[in-house]
Structure 1
Amino acid sequence: MYVQAEAMGAKVHYPYDQTAYLEAPAINDVSEIDTLEPADPYKDGNLPHHLEAMKIVAEEVGDEVTVTGPVTCPFTNASFLIGAENLVRLTLKDPEKVHKLCEISLETNLRYAKAIIDAGCTPSLTDAMSSNTVISPKQFKEFSFPYLKRLIDYIHSRGKSVTLHICGKTNKIWDLMAEAGADCISIDNDASLLEAKQKVGHRVRLMGNIKPSETMLQGTVSDVKKAVFECVRQAYDNPKGYIVASGCSLPTETPFRNIHAMMDAVREIGYLPAKIFLTT
């Protein structure tokens, strides 16, 4: 999630064989905003290495499956530039500075999304800080939505569909996520697939929401299979379709047997599961 902010000056720590984390934001004070510049995905930070990896995967399996490249959306990237607490504080004290941070983050997003598409892949959007666990729906509409829409409009202009993941509680902004143009909404395990189907299933494909830690990391193969069946039971008849997935990123220690169990359970259910769930 930090590669774009890192390319703009943030410091990221990379532990051996574990998830990277933000060590320090790019700036410490709003007075430094004018020192920030959009990243060049072909030169700055680790972005060129990620693009190289995407190209390799696209060349190997791109004719069989869609290969995606993650893009951290403007509001979340802005939080990595100045620090999450500072950004949330600025939404109340100095909203114009928040917009400035989002604008420069959007420019980096657009450049990176273009490079991802040019590499033969599809951008996949993640926006953790836009969660209603962090900001209100009103703040989402003001500080996140306009930039998400512009980013999604660009990706659509390149002929690609968009999956948007926002962590935590999102039920109060599902309509706005759809309005921003998302073709698929990835639902965190804090949210309800049934509720999402009822509220926006006629507008967007749904994706999710098996628990990453409780089930995928700590559960047994049987637990994973039961969770898959329950998610499919809730969302198989979503008007715009449904994709089985974890509710959020998997911990690095997740057993491969549980990942295989999730895939195997989907294969067991099959593409058209209606009869299974109407008769059980």
Structure 2
Amino acid sequence: MTPKERLYTRLAGKPVDKIPNMNIMMHIVAREAGVSYREYVQDYRKLVEGNLICAEKYGLDTVSAISDPMREAAAFGAELTFPETTVPYAKKSLISDDWDLSVLKRFDPTESERTLDRIKGCELLRQRVGKDYPVVGWIEGCIAEAADLRGLNELLIDLAMEEERLPELFQIIFEEQKLFAKAQIHAGADIIGVGNAAASLIGPVLYKNYGLEWDKKITEYIHACGAKVKLHICGNITPLLELLREVKADILDIDSMVDFARAARFFEGTGTAVSGNVHPAGVLMQGTAELVEREIKRCMNISSATSLVAAGCEVPLATPEENLLLMDRLLYL
């Protein structure tokens, strides 16, 4: 089976030769491409090169345009710093305490440098892999993007205080989400990852009030554009599982602090496949071969017919190659 056939067959609950390897790699992709992280996040050609190397070397079943959470923030007007070895960040929050939303630039993702770079990445990945691999594009979820624009601590206070301009901000973000997702789909993305990590910090009440409907809307929109959705909320999302079932994402990433067996049972038959939940550092980076084997088999044994296996979040740069190679070998059925 090709990786794309394997993933789509598994999502349909049908037999496959191997449980798809859905590990998220970014720092490792940069290393394999032979470039700094700064170059990786700014040059789609290096991102593509590293993805192709990693897919072949480590048995990944997707290639991805994921790199950092600040693509849209830059397009909105945030001034970024690009460290040599880690993700870019905003020098200061674009939205200050006066809540002047007019500072947000409304942008065409094909004309903003950082969003266009990701679109070109999807296009080149599609050209290079043909029909063999699913191409994963990426956008930020509304809660996560609001945190990028406002500052995480400030946003948490705003949510708790029910800041009256939050719905207006989320609407602006949503309109740009749609444009960015659609552009990546047109460029060749089969799946759009929605990164909404900050949602794991706000609890079910605030998520229901401020995050759920936006995640549902963007999922519905991406589906209408003909692509699948991979929702990534790293952290402990146990309190959110019941609400997340309403989102109807095709794939839901499950981090290592969540009970994977419980999540697999909870989403079985819903159309959402869970993906996880090997501990990225404690198992893949620091674990012995015996521990890696035990944990991979644990995930496989408690999976449903549609479940996928991956580290709960990004695979750390210092992860031994032999652990990654062992993981992929173990996924064959």
Normalised by the length of structure 1, the TM-score is: 0.87
Cα distance in 1, alignment partners of residues 279 and 260 from structure 2: 12
User: 1:144 maps to which residue?
Assistant: 211
Q: What is the aligned residue count?
A: 263
**Structure 2 residues without counterparts, runs of 5 or longer:** 1-68
1:193 is displaced (CA, Å) by: 0.7
Cα distance in 2, alignment partners of residues 103 and 89 from structure 1: 19
8 Å contact kept, 2:77–2:103: no
1:116 is displaced (CA, Å) by: 0.8
| Counterpart AA for 1:255 | P
Cα distance in 2, alignment partners of residues 58 and 15 from structure 1: 29
> Closer, same or farther in 2 for the Cα pair 1:23/1:233, shift >3 Å?
farther
Note the 1:5-154 alignment, pairs <5 A. Answer: 5-121=73-189, 122-131=191-200, 134-154=201-221
* Identical-residue share of aligned pairs (%): 26
Tell me, yes or no, if structure 1 residue 234 matches structure 2 residue 302: yes
8 Å contact kept, 1:41–1:48: yes
Dislocated runs of 4+, deviation >6 Å: none
Cα distance in 2, alignment partners of residues 93 and 26 from structure 1: 20
- Secondary structure in 2 matching 1:251: coil
8 Å contact kept, 1:38–1:107: no
Cα distance in 2, alignment partners of residues 107 and 49 from structure 1: 20
8 Å contact kept, 1:212–1:250: yes
User: 1:180 maps to which residue?
Assistant: 247
8 Å contact kept, 1:185–1:207: yes
Moved more, 220-229 or 79-88: 220-229
| Counterpart AA for 2:138 | P
**Structure 1 residues without counterparts, runs of 5 or longer:** 271-280
User: 1:273 maps to which residue?
Assistant: none
8 Å contact kept, 1:72–1:109: yes
CA RMSD of aligned residues (A): 1.8
Note the 1:122-271 alignment, pairs <5 A. Answer: 122-131=191-200, 134-203=201-270, 204-235=272-303, 238-239=304-305, 241-267=306-332, 270=333
8 Å contact kept, 1:74–1:105: yes
1:216 is displaced (CA, Å) by: 1.9
8 Å contact kept, 2:142–2:215: yes
- Secondary structure in 2 matching 1:5: helix
Moved more, 250-259 or 51-60: 250-259
Post-superposition Cα deviations, 1:94-153, rounded to whole Å, max 9, x if no partner, equal: 43222122111111111110011001112111110111xx11201101111111111001
> Closer, same or farther in 2 for the Cα pair 1:258/1:17, shift >3 Å?
farther
8 Å contact kept, 2:279–2:312: yes
User: 1:278 maps to which residue?
Assistant: none
| Counterpart AA for 1:55 | E
| Counterpart AA for 2:121 | A
8 Å contact kept, 2:75–2:105: no
User: 2:25 maps to which residue?
Assistant: none
- Secondary structure in 1 matching 2:239: coil
